[in-house]
Amino acid sequence: MSSRVLIIGAGGVGGVVAHKCAQVKDTFGEIMLASRTLSKCERIAGEVAELQGRTIRTAALDADDPKNTIRLIEDFEPELVINVALPYQDLAIMDACLATGVHYLDTANYEPPDEAKFEYKWQWAYRERFEQAGLTAILGCGFDPGQTNIYCAWAQKHHFDTIRSVDIMDCNAGSHGKAFATNFNPEINIREITQRGRYWEKGEWKETDPLSVHTPFHFAECGEKEMYLMYHEELESLVQNLRGLERIRFWMTFGKAYLTHLEVLQNVGMTSITPIDFEGQQIVPLQFLKAVLPKPESLGENYTGKTNIGCWIEGEKDGVFKRYYIYNVCDHAACYREVRSQAISYTTGVPAMLGAKLLLDGVWKKPGVHNVETLDPDPFMQQIGKHGLPWVETYPTEPLPV
């Protein structure tokens, strides 16, 4: 039986989610795409009609105020809201879902607008309210977080009795031809990258200077790339949900040109989120920078190369040490041909669609607020390949070079 779904957010990921939902007619009957900028929704709707042969509805929505989202939900009457808007809006959209009795799913945890900080505590505080309302909220159902968490749950269920260490590694070996651009929202991307590095080891969090720890690694179909230790949100929940864990880290690759541009922008104050006075107006430098950088959804047409994202996991099975590496490779150009997207948006949007499908199909419908690794990984892993993100399992003989 098909359901109605409301997608909030019409950036790169929102476009992918709209396309992928449109491909799954048995689950997603009526689809509405809403965003602050109606023209972005209408452009995506046109592409969905052209490529998928589906008509989707569109609406203008300022999701900062729950009252606006409540009115739209009451008008459209969806069963689920897929939130791929800015992380600043997570709590407001969750409030609207509670007020209207609608399920919720997102791909990124809440961030306060005035502080470069992200953590799950604000959303985890909603657990009891969603349970009492009989509603399901699924958090972080993109790729990282999302599919990487599910890889860990899959490994814990099928490959290990005890997981000792996890290294999540995200490589983008693609080229978009721009001097400097971010692959998702520039404001969120740069806030994330410029924070201090952080990882968990032997029961405590340890910090490093931003991008100060790095090492080369050979990624399948992408080659050798320099990867940098960062903090990423899935570490916070995986620490709680993996048995026997002793260490978990997150790594992301960056090219020299990207890092040089970023350093210059930091040095001149353009990555700051502290408001400044400019000709009698208060502006946030990072928000101004976002306005002049290429929009992530505009990068797909000329993007070449591939991404490789996966989890390197070590632990024991039946008393024997085991090393396991599971990953996905995604092609930028192939993504554009299918859904007019680059691979970064694609790898986030496809798991969001599948998580929504599993919820609406009743497989992942469970009152409360859940990170994806606490849900059964098997249905997701059995289906994700046919929706565009197949996975590869290997058993390395040599340790991770760091």
pLDDT tens, position by position, 318-339: 999 999 999 999 999 999 999 9
- DSSP per residue, 52-118: H----EEEE--TTSHHHHHHHHHHH--SEEEE-S-GGGHHHHHHHHHHHT-EEEESS----TTSS--
Confidence of residue 285 (pLDDT cuts 50, 70, 90): confident
Give the tens place of pLDDT for each residue, 375-395. 999 999 999 999 999 999 999
Residue 290 token pair: 């976002």
C-alpha 277/C-alpha 8 separation (Å) is 32
Domain locations along the chain: 3-143+347-381, 147-341
Q: 92-96, 278-282, 316-320, 368-372: which range is least confident on average? A: 278-282
Q: How many CB atoms lie within 10 A of CB 319?
A: 7
Average pLDDT, the chain: 93
C-alpha 336/C-alpha 320 separation (Å) is 44
Residue 16 token pair: 């992918």
Per the CB < 8 A criterion, the answer to whether 168 and 313 are in contact is no
Give, rounded to a whole angstrom, the gap between the first and last alpha carbons of the chain: 49
Confidence of residue 1 (pLDDT cuts 50, 70, 90): low
C-alpha 26/C-alpha 101 separation (Å) is 23
Please give the single-letter amino acid code of residue 273: I
Residues β-bridged to residue 37: none
Instruction: Check pLDDT > 80 for residue 153.
Output: yes
Give the tens place of pLDDT for each residue, 343-366. 999 999 999 999 999 999 999 999
| Helix pair angle (377-384, 147-158), 10° resolution | 120
Give the distance from CA 271 to its chain's centroid. 22
C-alpha 326/C-alpha 317 separation (Å) is 16
**CATH C-level class of 147-341:** alpha beta
Per the CB < 8 A criterion, the answer to whether 79 and 103 are in contact is yes
Instruction: Check pLDDT > 80 for residue 53.
Output: yes
- Report the predicted TM-score, pTM, of the whole model to 2 decimal places: 0.92
Confidence of residue 287 (pLDDT cuts 50, 70, 90): confident
Q: What is the CATH number of domain 3-143+347-381?
A: 3.40.50.720
Tell me how long the chain is.
402
125: helix, strand or coil = coil
> What are the helix and strand counts (H, E) for the chain?
14, 18
Residues 6+ apart with CB under 8 A from 336: 300, 301, 303, 342
Beta-strand runs (E) in 223-280: 223-230, 247-253, 276-278
C-alpha 97/C-alpha 91 separation (Å) is 10
What is the mean predicted confidence (pLDDT) over 22-44? 97
